[in-house]
Chain A
Amino acid sequence: MSEDLTKIDNTNVPANMESHDTIEGEIATLNLGPTHPATHGIFQNVLKVDGEKVLSSEQTVGYIHRAFEKLAERRPFHQITPITDRLNYCSSPINNIGWHMTVEKLAGIEVPKRVQYMRVIIMELARIADHLICNSVIGVDTGALTGFTWMFIERERIYDMYEEVCGARLTTNIGRIGGFERDFTTGFHEKIKDFLATFPARFEEFNSMFERNRIFMDRTIGVGGISAERALNYGFTGPNLRAAGVDYDVRVHAPYSSYEDFEFYVPVGTGGDTYDRFCVRQEEIRQSIRIIKQAYDNLPEGPYHADVPGFYLPKKEDVYNKMEALIYHFKIIMGETPVPAGEVYHSVEGGNGELGYYLISDGGRTPYRLQFRRPCFIYYQAYPEMITGQTLSDAVVTMSSMNVIAGELDA
């Protein structure tokens, strides 16, 4: 049979319908978003596709711009913590504690060792929660929903631990400037011992479903890759950069909150593709468990907050009985904290990379300028370059592996 298979037989087509003599390639414009499945967040990609192949992409973000920076100029320093919660809401404690460290850096407050270790435990739990969402959702996007159901049970246990510390599940507003509002309760000690004993095995079960799974590997190896040079030029940080081969981790380069006391590896990938990002996050979860074990086993005794009466609310018995405590309580609630005028940039290793706080204060109640250096906003620019030439389904998996959180994207 030597007929040309691209020729369509038009003999049965009615006369008033359009006819084509051959199948031609046609560039179609496809709108991916702003609301799209798998609840990644609200951002729009208008793709030009030739069949299944993506030729170019144009992005629109800002669908959830909530004006955090302008809002922060209105609020006293301790009232800004709830706003920082809503940046990367999958790992809110990291944002909260990063903000407290920024104010402490500006005001020159030293926190006790116990507080630093407590902060490390909470931040690493948050990192595990964030990476679990990202990796489960990569599974969901490739059609494997079971991982999602298993790992969300584990996330509920992390939420239980947050509740023991601060009372909230997701938007935690954890800690205070100078430390924590209460010491770890007995409930927390039980839960974390239970978590450290049982989570690793369940996590390995989750891992075994994906890591050497042929279908998953076919879907993710070679997909959405980016080279290390391009990644650095685009300002990538965090697991996305480490998957491309650069071992930049703020916890190692500029250690904060006693991270230098702990021994942990920083996993680095080779190709920068989706499979590498998945594996880097999996390994980071294991390293986080390692850090939590070390921090918990060596938790030093001591106060759970710094002695800074100007920032940290005094005990209620003192407020009712002593004059100075009453005055400090009043001033803190009214927002009159003694933050000096100055300028500081502090960064922490968030779930997605270097989360930076650029704070300028003029000595008043509220910041003069607060800008969040949001990793998602900066690396999402590279998305068109990563998906050009790949198929539509690859584009979806790439987006979910980059872990773009809309709250952090738009602020």
Chain B
Amino acid sequence: MGKITAEGNFEAINYEGFQLTKLDTVIGVARSNSLWPLPFATSCCGIEYMASMAPNYDIARFGMERMSFSPRQADLLIVAGTISKKLAPVLKQVYEQMAEPKWVLCVGACASSGGIFDTYSVLQGIDRVIPVDVYVPGCPPRPEQIIDGIMNIQALVKHESLRRRYSPEYKELLDNYNIENDIDGK
């Protein structure tokens, strides 16, 4: 929102009018019901995540039929399990490889804050290296809790403004984590 300067040095005013807000809603609904997750499953929470993929709890009914293991084709990074300091650069690289818009769901106590492993080798929470949208506590969380987390992500996705990823606040967030944000193509 505000002024943007385009090529050729002319200014344009960009604000959300009626048509754009309706487009926001439609795109929001479409995105939230067709998120493709990247299951970054490390340990025990990964098995509970597999159980939530299984027929009893079935996250395919939320649109997550296809698990994308390639970051380039995923919207949602689900980090389930303990992340050690050795793995943190790998996690950051996977996050950076994902295309905008992307969301992060942090499943389990170990990914949220280190969990019961307050040790020399465990990263005390993945929000040390990447920005997180929703935390699901538990050790491991039941599949119902994971589904609750996914529904919270869906609520975030549904109501997200199309311009959020271009806003200065988002840039500042990524700068805090030293993550390059080249959404403008510069």
Contact = CB atoms under 8 A, between A and B. Distances in A.
* Contact present between A and B (CB < 8 A): yes
Interface residues of A, number: 34
Contacts of B116: 82-83
Contacts of A86: 43-44
Contacts of B42: 41-42, 63-64, 406
Contacts of A39: 39, 41, 46, 49-50
Given A35-B90, A36-B69, A156-B56, A133 B47 contact: yes
Contacts, number: 92
Contacts of B39: 39
Interface stretch (B21-29, B79-87, B152-160): B79-87
Nearest to A137: B50
Contacts of B94: 35
A149 interface: yes
Interface string B34-64: 0000011111101111110011100000000
A67 B123 CA distance: 12
Contacts of B86: 62-63, 65
B55 A66 contact: no
Nearest to B51: A152
Contacts of A70: 119-120
A148 B54 contact: yes
Interface in B98-141: 116-117, 119-122, 139-140
B142 interface: yes
A242 B163 CA distance: 59
A85 B94 CA distance: 29
B54 A406 contact: no
Given A63-B87, A71-B119, A169-B142, A89 B55 contact: no
B54 A156 contact: yes
B40 A66 contact: no
A63 B46 CA distance: 15
Contacts of A42: 42, 87
Nearest to B119: A67
Interface string A198-225: 0000000000000000000000000000
Q: Which of B41, B47, B67, B139 has the most CB of A within 10 A?
A: B47
A153 interface: yes
Interface string A162-188: 000000011100000000000000000
Nearest to B116: A82
B87 A170 contact: no
B29 to A, nearest CB: 28
Contact of A66 (B46, B122, B142): B122
B68 to A, nearest CB: 9
Contacts of B142: 169
18 contacts: A34-B90, A39-B46, A41-B42, A42-B42, A62-B86, A63-B42, A64-B42, A64-B87, A66-B117, A66-B122, A85-B44, A133-B50, A148-B54, A152-B51, A155-B51, A169-B51, A170-B48, A406-B42
Interface of B: 39-44, 46-51, 54-56, 67, 69, 81-82, 84, 86-87, 90, 94, 116-117, 119-122, 139-140, 142
Interface of A: 34-37, 39, 41-42, 62-67, 70-71, 82-83, 85-86, 89-90, 133, 148-149, 152-153, 155-156, 159, 169-171, 406-407
